[in-house]
Structure 1
Amino acid sequence: MKTNTYENRLLLVLFLCFGFVFFDRLALSFLFPFIAKDLGLNNSHLGMLSSILALMWALSGMTLGHVADKKESKKFILVISVITFTLCSALSGMVTTFISLLIFRAFMGVAEGPVLPISQSLLAAASTPKRRGLNMGLVNACAPGLIGTVLAPPVLIWIATEYGWRSAFYATVIPGLLISVLIMLLVKNQHTHESMATSHQPHLGGMENIKALIKKRNILLCILISCFYISWFITLITFTPTFLMQGRGFTPEVMGEIMGSLGFAWMIWGFVIPAASDHFGRKPMMILFTLIATACPMVILYADADVMFPMVFLTYTGLGCFTLFMATIPAETVSPSQVATALGLIMGIGELFGGFVTPIVAGFLADIYGLEIAIWIASGGSLIALMLSIFLSETAPVKQRKHSNSEREGLSVSP
């Protein structure tokens, strides 16, 4: 009972924490139509702003994730990260030039980078096997979906419309500081469920550890999937608000409703897919729902406004898959003492390619050929991720048990 109590408490705190990360990260996309008018920015600027945050997020996630695996006080690093990115988000409301906004977004990326690998390493260690996929999905996808794209668009757009976009950034201070207090009070530095304690090989150190991780097929595949799936996600979430208003001619209110639909889909699929993978396996769920996610950009490009809400909801399934390749599969592939390092590596390299390079390219191409090209790039990213998913090895405990039972039955009937 004690284990379950702490597991639930940890889940709630990390849910709020990572959800608020995306509230801050995505605020720029929702507020950009307002900011662009004041600061004279274009699509290339939007791509660069998204990319610099992703670049620093990637570098920070890889380095600090590895550092966190060596430290006993992961909680301390997490608290400092939350306080820092909250202040950087608020300071974004004080900018007067593109360069100053770029600098604050860069520092914000540094602070946000280690949050996911640290959070998921804590959660993977504390979760019971039958809930591991569900717990990690709730934090990895459901939380940012609910807080970052369901609550954020109407709240931020309302504040920006009534009080100005700068006030929308200032409003992020209070929840960020409250979450940091909750982490200090309720999260333990170490808590490992007995099912994880002896299930993997011991931890290696330094570059030897990183090389050993990359040699594992699942880890290498997850890194490659991350590159292209993050391209799908970041390109869509960055350019869709502006495309809907400028390319499709929708009002800010309609844009907010459609982005809210993305958020509802993110939230629902974010726990449905990982939970389903606990019962049906990680690999088949990756393949099925990545195939569906490839259709989402087509919906944004061509669907009528009156049917876009339900169609976006039905096809925006990719964020549920994020939990699998970015958290659950690698956590079940490596030692518990390697989880933050592996997750930081997968997230970091994926962010470098999909979050840094792709938005810059998409932004420049959008200024030349129109915003539609950015949405097509997103579709291509998920299609490549789909093909890579076919080569993953299954890691779900339920599938592993069935495989072991089949082997034992085979041995028992052999002559």
Structure 2
Amino acid sequence: MATKASDRSASYQILLVLLLSLNFGIVFFDRNSLNFLMPFVKPELGLTNEQVGIFQSALSLTWALAAFGIGRLSDRTGNRKLLLVLATLIFSVCSFLTGIAQGFALLLGARLLMGAAEGGVMPISHAMVASEVSPERRGLAQGIAQNFGSNLLGSFVAPVLLVSFAAAYGWRNAFYLAGIPGLISAGLIWFLIREPAAPPPVADPAAAKESPWSVLRERNVLLCCAMSVIMVSYLVTCWVFMPLYLTEVRGYSPSTMQWLMGTLGISATIGSFAISGLSDRIGRRPVMIAMPFIGAILPLGAMFFTGSPWLLAGIFFIGWGLNGIFPLFMATVPSESVDLRRTATALGFCMGSGEVLGGVLAPWISGRMADATSLAAPLWIMLGLTLLAGFVAMGLRETAPRIVARRSAALREALA
């Protein structure tokens, strides 16, 4: 029987967050596997760069649709654990389907289905954390659930493990390997996690009838949606085309490429906490302005740095630190900019807009540009996106509680 968060022990809350973080990490492990293995897949299946981009666009499209649809279904039915387990099993099966694909069509179908399964995982996970974890620990818990596992497993372990395995045993066997952790995770969730409490009914009938689009009248929410589109475009373009650029243009071996890409995972894991923590101290706005400009060194370094791969890894580490602002524009700033009854709606717009527009369009456009010119085109696009994000962030209104309180106190003293 479902119970309230206050009835859950601290040990159970820790277990829940760790399992959800592990599960979402496996989601990104499977999502990114094709990108890291593309140097093996592309020549065997005779794919064009545009087709490479379409795979990511297709997954992003069904991911975004599922994020809205499955999240809403879990609210209505209350069967969150069951839906989460089913989604985990389905995206794991899709990894096996990717491994048996003999051409573009079957590979595309597997990615479409994988996106549909994976898209609902994070909304359900956030809902479970919100209802099961004590309010005083909820922010940290949601940060760990979304950022730690996904960056560690999806951006670090995936390239290091899968590329090595593919080089030794073939890329198809690497996809079979990638599907196994999800099956284990689904079993752990089924046996160790209890069904959370059903969501409470809407207390204010007038609030329930309010148009969800009204949150876009808040400037910060609108700008965070724009930031989401820009930065998700940057993210998926790097995932899809950086491994190909490093191997085909720069001439790095797959083993060197895997460690360079793995550096991104380490950077994102650290940045997800360090950058958000810095924003608590100095403000959200300056961090969100500075990090995209700093991130410009990553595509520039990939194209023009000719020194040691170890130094290039350092450039990758620093440049990819801009991932630390993702929780800020997807959750923190929007939630601090609207009243509580509209928080979920604001977060839905900020998360969904990035996946629908950035995740779907950017890989396809980058692929077409790469076919028309060269594989350097996606990296020039990445550079432009980082600069654009920095300028967009200049329009944000500061929301960090410590900074807002300090400014209010200073204003009161000036008027006294």
Q: Is TM > 0.5 for Structure 1 vs Structure 2?
A: yes
* Change in 2 beyond 3 A, CA 1:385/1:130: farther
> How many equivalent residue pairs?
405
2:232 aligns with 230
Report Cα offsets for 1:162-213 as digits up to 9, x if no partner.
Answer: 2211111111333112222333323652499xxxx9xx9999437x442122
1:205 aligns with 208
User: How far off is 1:278 after superposition?
Assistant: 3.4
Structure 2: distance between partners of 1:202 and 1:16: 38
**Does 2:103 align with 1:97?**
yes
2:114 aligns with 108
**Does 2:90 align with 1:84?**
yes
Report Cα offsets for 1:73-115 as digits up to 9, x if no partner.
Answer: 4333322222221111221111111011001101111111122
Superposition RMSD in Å: 3.0
> Among the aligned pairs, what percent are the same residue?
37
2:3 aligns with none
* Cα contact 2:13–2:133 (8 A) shared by 1: yes
Structure 2: distance between partners of 1:234 and 1:183: 29
2:251 aligns with 249
Q: TM-score, normalised by structure 2?
A: 0.87
**Does 2:53 align with 1:47?**
yes
User: How far off is 1:402 after superposition?
Assistant: 4.4
Give 1:394's aligned amino acid. E
* Change in 2 beyond 3 A, CA 1:331/1:61: same
Q: SS in structure 1 opposite 2:397?
A: coil
User: How far off is 1:340 after superposition?
Assistant: 4.7
Which stretch of the first structure deviates more once superposed, 278-287 or 121-130?
Answer: 121-130
Give 2:329's aligned amino acid. F
User: How far off is 1:393 after superposition?
Assistant: 3.0
**Does 2:368 align with 1:391?**
no
Q: TM-score, normalised by structure 1?
A: 0.87
Give 1:274's aligned amino acid. S
Q: SS in structure 1 opposite 2:396?
A: coil
Structure 2: distance between partners of 1:333 and 1:201: 20
* Change in 2 beyond 3 A, CA 1:400/1:358: same
- Structure 2: stretches of 5+ with no match in the other structure: 1-5
Which of 38, 43, 63 is the aligned partner of 1:57? 63
* Cα contact 1:125–1:336 (8 A) shared by 2: no
**Does 2:167 align with 1:161?**
yes
Question: Where do residues 20-39 of structure 1 align in structure 2 (5 Å cutoff)?
Answer: 20-39=26-45
Which of 153, 157, 164 is the aligned partner of 1:151? 157
Which stretch of the first structure deviates more once superposed, 330-339 or 217-226?
Answer: 330-339
User: How far off is 1:375 after superposition?
Assistant: 0.5
* Cα contact 2:164–2:255 (8 A) shared by 1: no
Structure 2: distance between partners of 1:118 and 1:106: 20
User: How far off is 1:60 after superposition?
Assistant: 1.8
* Change in 2 beyond 3 A, CA 1:12/1:173: same
Structure 1: distance between partners of 2:38 and 2:277: 35
Report Cα offsets for 1:355-382 as digits up to 9, x if no partner.
Answer: 1111111101101210111011012112
Structure 1: distance between partners of 2:126 and 2:217: 22
* Cα contact 1:91–1:104 (8 A) shared by 2: yes
User: How far off is 1:394 after superposition?
Assistant: 3.2
Structure 2: distance between partners of 1:142 and 1:129: 20
Structure 1: distance between partners of 2:403 and 2:134: 16
* Change in 2 beyond 3 A, CA 1:390/1:75: farther
Question: Where do residues 317-396 of structure 1 align in structure 2 (5 Å cutoff)?
Answer: 317-334=321-338, 339-396=343-400
Structure 2: distance between partners of 1:138 and 1:107: 26
Structure 2: distance between partners of 1:69 and 1:401: 35
* Change in 2 beyond 3 A, CA 1:18/1:342: farther
Which of 282, 285, 300 is the aligned partner of 2:287? 285
1:186 aligns with 193
- Structure 1: stretches of 5+ with no match in the other structure: none
* Change in 2 beyond 3 A, CA 1:339/1:88: farther
Structure 1: distance between partners of 2:275 and 2:195: 28
1:240 aligns with 242
Structure 1: distance between partners of 2:339 and 2:376: 43
* Change in 2 beyond 3 A, CA 1:202/1:31: farther
Structure 2: distance between partners of 1:88 and 1:186: 24
Give 2:64's aligned amino acid. A
Structure 2: distance between partners of 1:172 and 1:132: 30
